[in-house]
Amino acid sequence: MSGRIITVTADDDAASFADRLEWANTPRVIAEIAEGFRLDDVGWARVRRAAERAGITLAVASPDRLLRAAAAEVGLFAFGSVEDAAAREWLNEDAPPPLQRVGRPRHFRTNTLRRFFPRRNWLSIGLRILIALATVALLAGAGLMVAPTARVTMSASSQSLQTIVPVTLTTVSANASPAKSIVYAERVDVVVEDTLATPTSGEKTIPKFKARGTVTFFNVLSTPYKVPRDTVVRASASSSAARFVTLNDVDVPPGGQANVAIEAIDVGGDGNVPANTVNVVEGVPAIAVRVSNEQGTSGGGGETVRAVTQADFARLRIQARGALFQRAQREMLKLPAVAKSGLYVIPASLYVADVQDETFDRFVTEEASELKLTMRLQVAGLAVKPADLDEVARSVLSARAPAGFDLLSATAERGDIAEEGTGTGVQYFLVARGIAGAEIDEFAVRKLIRGKTADEARRLLQTQYRLNSAPAIEIGPSWLPAAFFRVPWVASRIEINVVRK
C-alpha cells in the first residue's frame, strides 16, 4: 500500500492538522499522534472533512485508547501504532465493492420462434368463458338482491313512570346497597358566620316634655313674703305625686296672694295633674305661704319610638339560620371531597351541629330601629352520589315497568328528609321518574322482515310489537324490477328507526 506518514505534535490543533493533510499530496496518510495531543469532537470532525476534501483516506496511530475512540467516532481508521496500520489493509468506507455475478448467463433454445406461437387449447378457453359468464350472472343476481335498501320507522308505545321511593341514607359505607334502597351518604361539616339585621317591630314612649302650669301662693303672714325661684311644690291630691318648681321670684303681700309659673321637675305625662291638686309647699316657704292651682298643668309627655321585641329576636334568629344554611350548602359544594367526587349535598339534610356564637346588639324593649345578630354555626349535612340515587330510581322503576316494556330512562329528583338526622341512618324520600317503552330488538326486526314485501313486513311488525301506528317502510331504489322490490336479505341494508312518544 502506497502512502505517507505524517507526525502530529502535541502543539498542533485541528487547523494545523488539516494543513498537514492538504500538503500530504497522497491518497493514503497515516497520522502518528504524539503524546499530549488532544481534540474535541468538533476538532476531529474538522480533520475528517479536511481529509475528504483532499481525497485522502486517513488513519490515526496512537497508543491512547481514548484518542483512538474519538477518531473512530467521526469515521476515521484508528490503530495502536504506525506498524499496525502499515501491516493491515484498510480502505475508505465510501469505496464501492467489486461487482460479482450472482447466476449463470441465460441460454435460449435453437428454435426461438416457436415459443412465440404456442398451441392453443380451445376446449380450455371455452370452459373458461362459460365459467366467466356464469360468474357474471351470479354476481348480477346477487347484486339485485343486495342492491335494495329499506328504511323502517316504528312508532313504539311508551309510558311515563313516577313513584316516591323511601331511601335510607347511611354514613357507614359497608351498609350501602342501592338495590335495597340504601345509599351511602358522606357527612360534611362547615363553619359559617354572618351578621344580619332586621327592622324592629315594637313601640315605646320615651318621656321628653315637662308639664307646665300656674299656681297661686297665699300669704298667711302679716308681712310681705318673697317666694324665691325654684321653690318646690307638690301635688298630693292626685294619683301622681308630681313635683314642680317655680320659674320666677314672686312677692306675696301680707294676707294676699300672687300667681307664678311652675314646671314639672320630671319629664313625662306624670306632670299633667288636674286643678286644685298642687297643694304642698316644700322647704322654708311652707311656713309663710300656702299654694293651689286653679287650672291643671299640661304639656308633659313623650314621643313614641321603635323598640326591640322578643318577636324580633325570634324572627331574626330564623332568618340568620336560613341564610347561613344557604351559605353552608354553597361552601360544602366547594369542599375538595365533594367537588372532586361530584357529590350532591341534600339541602333538607342540613342541621346545626353546634352554635358557636349568637350575639344580639340590643336587648328587649331597648329603643332601636334595627336589630343586628352575629351568628356563627357549625352546619353538618349529607352528600350523596347522584349516580347512586339514579341507580335506586332505575331499580325501583324497572320492577314497575309493564310486561313487554323496557325502562328507557330513569332519574331521581330531590326529595325531603323524614326527620332531622344526626345518627348513622336517615330516611330520605326521592321522586323517581322514568319512561318505559315497548321492547324492540332491532336485530330481531331485521331477521323478521328480510325478503318480505312492504305490506307483509308491515303486518308482521304490527302483530309482533306494540306500536302506536302502522310502521312506515320505504324500499329503494325505485328502478328495481317489481320482483326484487322487497326488503333486502342483507341485514346491514335495513335501517331501523324507533320513535318513542
Q: Each residue of 363-395: pLDDT tens digit?
A: 898 888 899 999 999 999 888 888 888 888 888
Q: In percent, how much of the chain has pLDDT > 90? A: 22
132 pLDDT above the threshold of 70: yes
Band of residue 315 on the pLDDT scale cut at 50, 70, 90: very high
Q: What is the pLDDT of residue 91?
A: 55
Predicted local confidence at residue 238, as pLDDT: 62
pLDDT at 417: 64
Counted domains in the chain: 3
- Quick check: pTM over 0.75? no
Task: Give 238-269 pLDDT, tens digit per residue.
Answer: 666 899 999 999 999 998 999 999 999 988 88
Mean pLDDT of 74-86: 87
User: Is residue 431 in a domain?
Assistant: no
Q: What is the pLDDT of residue 258?
A: 94
User: Looking at 351, 384, 417, which one is the last position of a domain?
Assistant: 384
Is residue 290 assigned to a domain?
Answer: yes
228 prior amide bond cis, ω within 30: no
Whether 184 and 456 have beta carbons less than 8 Å apart is answered as no
Residues 292, 219 within the same domain? yes
pLDDT recorded at residue 421: 47
Residue 67 belongs to some domain of the structure? yes
Q: Which of 88-97, 142-151, 270-279 is most confident?
A: 270-279
Strand partners of residue 109: none
Q: What is the mean pLDDT of the chain?
A: 83
Residues 80, 217: one domain?
no
**Which residue would you say has higher pLDDT here, 159 or 244?**
244
Query: Among residues 245, 278, 304, which one ends one of the domains?
Result: 304
pLDDT attached to residue 368: 87
- Let me know whether 192 and 318 are in one domain: yes
Which residue in the block uniquely carries the three cell numbers 351518604? 185
Please check whether residues 197 and 328 belong to one and the same domain: yes
CATH of the domain at 266: 2.40.30
Q: Give the pLDDT band (50/70/90) at residue 123.
A: confident
Domain identity same for 255 and 284: yes
The reply to whether 413 falls in a domain is: no
pLDDT at 407 over 90: no
Please check whether residues 292 and 313 belong to one and the same domain: no
The domain boundary residue, chosen from 270, 304, 338? 304
List pLDDT tens digits, range 19-75.
888 888 888 888 888 888 888 888 888 889 888 888 888 889 999 888 888 888 888
Mean pLDDT of 85-101: 59
Vertex 421, ends 176 and 378: CA angle to 5°? 110
Q: Are residues 241 and 278 in the same domain?
A: yes
Residue 499 lies in a domain: no
Q: In this structure, is residue 438 part of a structural domain?
A: no
pLDDT of residue 143: 63
Same domain membership, residue 259 and residue 298: yes
| Pair 225, 345 in one domain | no
Q: Are residues 251 and 369 in the same domain?
A: no
3-state helix, strand, coil in the chain (%, to 5): 30, 35, 35
What letters, b where the CB count within 10 A reaches 16 and e where it falls short, cover 128-144?
eeeeeeeeeeeeeeeee
Together in a domain, 210 and 274: yes
- 321 in the same domain as 239: no
Q: How far is 455 from 109, CA to CA, in rounded Å?
A: 73
Q: Is 414 part of any domain?
A: no
Kind of pairing, strands 370-384 and 344-345?
antiparallel
In the prediction, which pLDDT does 228 show?
94
Select the more confidently predicted residue: 111 or 379. Answer: 379
Q: How far apart are CA 184 and CA 425, in angstroms?
A: 10
* CATH number of the domain enclosing 341: 3.30.110
- Asked whether residue 473 carries a pLDDT value surpassing 90, the answer given is no
Listing DSSP states for 131-172 in one string gives HHHHHHHHHHHHHHHHS-EEEEEEEE-EEEEEEEEEEEEES-
Q: How far apart are CA 65 and CA 45, in angstroms?
A: 18
How does strand 77-79 pair with strand 57-61? parallel
Q: What is the mean pLDDT of residues 340-369?
A: 88
27 located within any domain: yes
pLDDT at 92 over 70: no
**Domain span including residue 73:** 4-87
**Amino acid 261: pLDDT:** 95
